A and B are shown apart, each in its own frame.
Chain A
Amino acid sequence: MLLLLLVWQLITAFGLVSAFLLPPPAQVLDAFVEAVSSGLLARHTLTTLEEMFFGLLLGVSIGLSLGYLIAKAPLLEFILSPIIVAFQSTPIVAYAPLLIIWLGSGVESKIVTTAVIVFFPMLVNTIAGIRAVPPQLQDLMHSLNARPWQSFRHLELPSALPVILAGLRTSATLAVIGAVVGEFVSSGSGLGHLVTLARNLYDTPLVFVSVFTMTFIALSLYGAVALLEWRLLAWRRRSSAS
């Protein structure tokens, strides 16, 4: 990271690239301080975070529920998979404008954009995780007359959790893309909007500030899920240690 910063500084110091294309790190830092002190960065970051949070909540909930149902009912997969795959194989930027038209330019359309983009990894990983439960353990639960909820709570969930959490890690980073794509198409607030605004004002340092903030959010979310994973899967480490 420091090396990257040094190279960046050298490139700008020797004037290898025009400052308006690649501003010096110090100029970006100034823009950051200004954006923070004026409240501009906080305002736009909060909007993006709100869209991401609710989008993640919606997308992950649907992905988990539908994934579980599909894993348990192959017929459902047969019926739904063409629709899901077709929907997923279309780039989000292609139908984001439609979501704006249908849902308006407020946070709702960005929440749905985010939900759509985070849904697929959750769905796929949930299906894979539930289906990977060892059949002999399922037989054991049957022989113990375990009710569906008990099987889910004590077997399926713990068994599928590592795969589901891997999906959540992917979804969490994709959530930034979902929110920002929606903001790029149309919005009055959010980091995507701030990039558009800064580009249209030819304020390249502010573009860098916005992009770095998005990166920071994505990394933080990734780290948060990794931490969650570490906590929730502590039993695995303990069992493998013993």
Chain B
Amino acid sequence: MTRILALALILLAFVSPAVRAQEALQDERILLTFVPNIQFSPFYLGIQDGHFAEHGFNVTLEHLQEPEVLDLVAAGHADFGIVSGEQVILARAQARDVVYVFEWFQKYPVGLVVQGHNGSGISEISELRDRKVGIPGRFGASYSGLTALLHSAGMTESDIELTEIGFHAPDVFCSKVVSAAVVYINNEPLQILNRSLAGECSDLGMPDVFPVAEQVDLVSNGLIVHSDMLERETEKVQNMVSALGQALKSAIENPARAYLVSLEYVEALPNEVEYVEALQQLSMEQEAFLDTQPSREDIAQSRLDMRGQLGQMFDFDMLEQFDVLLNSIDLWDAEVLGFSELGSWESMLATLELLEFLDGSEVDLTASFTNVFIMGSSE
């Protein structure tokens, strides 16, 4: 009996610090959209590398449809969610009291894909006139993005033949059913290119992409909370923003590490032994490079170098998801991570008004978002 007690005490002595650390952490759900994907690697890094834990959170991730994410946060069933900026405006117009506290995507991720090398005869937006354009649906970021893009060329939806194609742009585009398709520019053009290289995309070749962000700055995906939390749980919001900022910075700075961590969360990511070993090697080299305190530009160059090295070893098919990550990083990266500009909110509001989605409701943009926690993070 004495021996058992002694053994238990010894075990407790070893285990208790870890257990205590776990107990101190607050369980927190972050609601995401879509499905587990390499694009969510900052969240995976945040969990695996302890950025959330450092700020007192034991985070679990859950994927839902965007309106569900927003309503669960608005109803107080979840504290944190990721949605696109236009959802915040639309939801606030319908009495959902949510506030956007961290802009994850600094550039709007939507664009238009057309057949490359001017094979489509479309070299500018105005040449879309009377063309058949595919879109997931007449809602969400894709629709707002297309509307803004058309508006920038003095056009409206009635100038094109818009057709709903669901989230199947690569299939539909490669079947030549449409002349152009609204896509997420970090992901779908790569899928189209990959199919094209495999000879599975008619004779379309390398697609051309017109990013919305090149024409107009629209607010994009970011972290939302219920407005009550801003006053009642200021510290919690601050901690989450800081944790997410750190995790995002880690992913931007070391995509090899972000990819490796994502392997545990995203099924079907290429994970061949040689590929993983190469990424591990690159990740270590990148960590050593980061110790030299490089500039943002140098880090951006290091990502290109990393891609160059991988390109010499592996084919495009293997690297597709890594390329999605690099493209995403280009959309996330900014001098100040998480900061959103009033101008991008105003552009989004104007777009939603063009779409007549607000039904005359007044939306106070200054209450829709805050950068106060970004300032808190950088202090």
Contacts and interface: CB of A to CB of B under 8 A. Distances in A.
Given A200-B90, A202-B94, A202-B96, A105 B139 contact: no
A202 B171 CA distance: 30
A185 to B, nearest CB: 5
A201 B165 contact: no
Interface of B: 65-67, 70-71, 74-75, 87, 90-91, 93-96, 136-140, 163-166, 168, 171-172, 177, 357
Nearest to B67: A199
3 shortest A-B CB distances, which residue pairs?
A186-B166, A200-B139, A202-B94
A201 B90 contact: yes
Query: Do most interface residues of chain A lie in helix, strand or loop, or is the interface mixed?
Result: loop
B139 A97 contact: no
Interface string A185-222: 11110000100110111111000000000000000000
A32 to B, nearest CB: 16
Interface stretch (A15-23, A54-62, A117-125, A139-147): A15-23
19 contacts: A19-B95, A20-B74, A97-B166, A100-B165, A101-B168, A101-B171, A105-B163, A105-B164, A188-B137, A188-B138, A193-B137, A196-B137, A197-B139, A200-B90, A200-B139, A201-B139, A202-B70, A202-B90, A202-B93
Which of A104, A105, A188, A193 gathers the greatest number of chain B CB atoms within 10 Å? A105
A55 B117 CA distance: 42
Interface range on chain A (Cβ under 8 Å from partner): 20 to 34
A104 B70 CA distance: 31
A19 B93 CA distance: 14
B164 A187 contact: yes
A186 B95 contact: no
B64 to A, nearest CB: 12
Which of A18, A21, A199, A200 gathers the greatest number of chain B CB atoms within 10 Å? A200
A100 B96 contact: no
Contact of A188 (B70, B140, B163): B163
B271 to A, nearest CB: 26
A112 to B, nearest CB: 15
Given A100-B168, A187-B137, A202-B93, 8 more contacts: A20-B71, A21-B75, A186-B166, A188-B138, A199-B67, A201-B94, A203-B94, A204-B94
Contacts of A196: 137, 139
A186 B163 CA distance: 10
Contacts of B65: 199
Contacts of B94: 20, 201-204
